[in-house]
Structure 1
Amino acid sequence: MHEVVKAAYAMEEGLRHFYHAVSLDRKGEPAQLLRKLAAIEEGHKRRLTEIYMRLTDSTDISDLITGTSEKKILEGGFTMEEFLRKSAGSIETEEQVLTLAMMLEAQALDLYLRYSRKTDDQKAREILHKLGDEEKAHLSLLGNMMEKTA
């Protein structure tokens, strides 16, 4: 179960890093939105840190964060380099940023739900469902943001 939380943490960190990196090359509202999305991913990481500490019954999170900066795996399982190469030119407007974010969150939701169906560990299943619920909430937030840009 620890490995699932560590993988989720790495994906959240990868997406946070992606949003931040792309925001540096943008101006105006798209840049602000990307920074806001990066902050949301920070919140997801905090939640995963809490889950990890409960699972390990420890405040030592060094094992959780080890290697996440090198992996740069985004939600949906993309590597940072792969995703930047494929999408860099298509995230110029707020709508494009939100569409991209919704796609990644939907893929993360799908990933967590698929993992939950594959595990026999009840505790792992519960955690994966909680992670899925958080992704659903994030999708809802992004949908609301999308409506405001229309």
Structure 2
Amino acid sequence: MLWKQFFTPVKSYSVKEAAEFLTGKNPSDVTVLDVRQPGEYRQGHLPGARLVPMGELSDRLDELERDGPTLVYCAIGGRSRVAAQMLAGKGFKHVINMAGGFKDWESMQQGSGWTSTGDYTQGLELFPDDIDVRRALEVAWGMEAALEEFYRDMAARAREAGKETTAAMYDRLARFEVGHKAKIENRYAALAGSDAELEKKAAQVVEGGMTTEEYMQRSGIDPADPAHIAGFAMMMEAQAMDLYARAARSAADAGTAAFLEDMVQEEKSHMQQVGRLLDSLLEDQNHG
């Protein structure tokens, strides 16, 4: 299964540009938002950064200033780009993603020369708020299929490394995606009269996209780093959640809107579970 990204672009700064932007500003002038997990935050963060993990963001928007500038960052820039898009879609006026994330920031501070490889706009496709619901379901089915394939691949890798507990978590997440695909198939059949063409349509939507390995490489993900993999999974769950939320706003009937809103809540739950997995992985690393 191939990947594509479906977000309206948001402004991104390099870490150097972000540092220049923050110079001379008081904490009340700008919200510096860290959307990583608590374990990542404890290992280091930008001065004055506010921690709101990605899986909690949609429930904690009222804690954040909507009218002033918000600089969002994560580990390497993938989760924060998704978070920035979500904030912009919720009416936040001036949202900036820090490309390269804390890893680039730390490298700049230490002068180590590390730079991220992620090109977060390549392959980007504009996805309007008034998306047709049938097309949204086709995209969603393709995304769920890609997530299932990704989780099964990660489970196999974890087992090869003797990490059965981690493998079991990935297996569980893969089963969730199977359930999501079945729900989408049922809703699609109700709208289109049949789900016979759904898989074919979904494949057409992501035609020209990237394989999982290519997407991970493009996003600067180290496939040998479990924490990177978990962060990547959270980014993709967030992308699915944003898709469902946009489609719900344009659904023509209450039943479809309610179905899509339920899917938003399920994706949020998945993000939180992957977040807990990431915290567990970081704790294991600290005690390893």
TM over 0.5: yes
Match of 2:188 in 1: 52
What is the RMSD computed on CA atoms of the aligned residues? Answer: 3.1
Match of 1:3 in 2: 135
1:115 is the counterpart of 2:247: yes
Counterparts of 1:33-52 in structure 2 under 5 Å? 33-52=169-188
Match of 1:66 in 2: 200
Change (3 A) 1:71 1:3: closer
Whole-angstrom CA distance in 2 between matches of 1:108 and 1:140: 14
1:92 is the counterpart of 2:224: yes
Whole-angstrom CA distance in 1 between matches of 2:201 and 2:251: 27
Partner amino acid, structure 2, of 1:141? Q
Partner amino acid, structure 2, of 1:144? R
Give yes or no for contact 1:14–1:72 (8 Å, CA) kept in 2: no
Whole-angstrom CA distance in 2 between matches of 1:109 and 1:89: 21
Give yes or no for contact 1:14–1:80 (8 Å, CA) kept in 2: no
| Per-residue Cα deviation, 1:60-90 (whole angstroms, up to 9, x for no partner) | 421122244x4584xxxx6436514414751
Match of 1:106 in 2: 238
1:9, distance to aligned residue in structure 2 (A):
0.6
1:42, distance to aligned residue in structure 2 (A):
1.7
1:105, distance to aligned residue in structure 2 (A):
0.9
1:36, distance to aligned residue in structure 2 (A):
4.3
Partner amino acid, structure 1, of 2:246? R
Query: Relative to total residues, which structure has the larger helix share, 1 or 2?
Result: 1
Give TM-score scaled by structure 1 length: 0.70
Change (3 A) 1:120 1:24: closer
| Per-residue Cα deviation, 1:11-57 (whole angstroms, up to 9, x for no partner) | 1112223344565666323982544433332222122123223444x
Q: Please state whether the residue corresponding to 2:224 is helix, strand or coil.
A: coil
Change (3 A) 1:34 1:72: farther
Partner amino acid, structure 2, of 1:127? F
1:101, distance to aligned residue in structure 2 (A):
0.8
Match of 1:80 in 2: 211
Change (3 A) 1:88 1:39: farther
Change (3 A) 1:52 1:19: same
Change (3 A) 1:72 1:131: same
Give yes or no for contact 2:138–2:201 (8 Å, CA) kept in 1: no
Give yes or no for contact 1:102–1:142 (8 Å, CA) kept in 2: yes
Whole-angstrom CA distance in 2 between matches of 1:40 and 1:72: 22
Q: Which moved more, 1:5-14 or 1:20-29?
A: 20-29
Match of 2:260 in 1: 128
Q: Please state whether the residue corresponding to 1:8 is helix, strand or coil.
A: helix
Change (3 A) 1:120 1:62: closer
Gaps of 5+ in 2: 1-132, 284-288
Gaps of 5+ in 1: none
Q: Please state whether the residue corresponding to 1:90 is helix, strand or coil.
A: coil
